[in-house]
Amino acid sequence: MKKSKQEGRGEHPLLKLIDTSKIPAHVAIIMDGNGRWAKSRGLARIEGHKAGIEGVKAAVEAAQEVGVKYLTLYAFSVENWKRPESEVKELFNLLDHYLEKEKEKIEEEQIRFRTIGRLNDLPKKTKKNLEDVQNKTMNHKGLTLTFALSYGGRAEICDAIGKMIGKAKMGEFSSEVTEDIVQKYLYAPDLPDPDLLIRTSGEYRISNFLLWQIAYTEIIILDVLWPDFRPEHFYEAVLDYQRRERRYGGVSE
């Protein structure tokens, strides 16, 4: 069983440096570097994805440890469908295996599991597994863990516009288009915007992730490949976040 935050704060020196009054409520992560990790070891790409599961576990553990309420992971983009069919199939097999293996932990730790993206594009088995976990955890009060699957920021905005146009054609949409209105038509309108976005592998790109939501998000790039991501990397990112001044377009006092 996972230890309480009070018990765990002595486990890593970085935890003692984190200001518990300035914890980012929502952390999003672009999990990058699985392929390069595998290539550097002379392994097939799928081995990098398998190793990347440890990064997922580390991120979830660290988010719970510091008290983050929402964690969103970029697991599979709309562009990833362009990869070889065999790799895509293996990726969803890995996801199915992860859900099966972690379901007891998810239940025990009261994790609320969610998904965003064009979910109808997913394999039927995977889609059903995801729906089952979401339904079973919808009332959980712990960390909200969201997987972005068949997701693209532009696709999300296009889908939102499409929904609004559909409503307008039926005469059910007559409001002025505002940011609040658009927000209602996003994949998860109740999910708060990320306070912190972490990208691994040292690449300085957004990669079409949460384009609407990250307008004022702090972005931190870590020079670590995703399979090597551990809780201390998460703690380092939170400490970096806490040293910054968030102005939301304003000026410093």
Instruction: Please tell me which residue, 145 or 169, carries the higher pLDDT value.
Output: 145
Q: What are phi and psi of 105, to 5 degrees?
A: -65, -40
49: Cβ contacts below 8 Å, ≥ 6 apart: 34, 38, 90, 91, 94
Share of the chain above pLDDT 90, in %: 87
Instruction: Give the SS3 label for residue 74.
Output: strand
Q: How far is the C-alpha of 133 from the C-alpha of 148, rounded, in Å?
A: 15
Domain coordinates of the chain in residue numbers?
Answer: 23-242
The residue with tokens 């290539």 is 39
User: Which class in CATH covers the domain with range 23-242?
Assistant: alpha beta
For range 52-59, the mean pLDDT? 98
Task: Work out the mean pLDDT of the chain and round it to a whole number.
Answer: 94
Q: Over the stretch 89-112, which tens digit does the pLDDT of each residue have?
A: 999 999 999 999 999 999 999 999
User: Annotated catalytic sites, by residue?
Assistant: 32, 80
CB 29 within 8 A of CB 71: yes
Q: Over the stretch 224-243, which tens digit does the pLDDT of each residue have?
A: 999 999 999 999 999 999 99
Q: Over the stretch 180-210, which tens digit does the pLDDT of each residue have?
A: 999 999 999 999 999 999 999 999 999 999 9
Sorting pLDDT into bands at 50, 70 and 90, what band is 51? very high
Instruction: Provide the H-helix boundaries in the chain.
Output: 5-8, 34-40, 45-66, 85-108, 124-137, 153-169, 179-184, 231-242
Closest CA to 71 of 210, 168, 250: 210
- Report if pTM > 0.75: yes
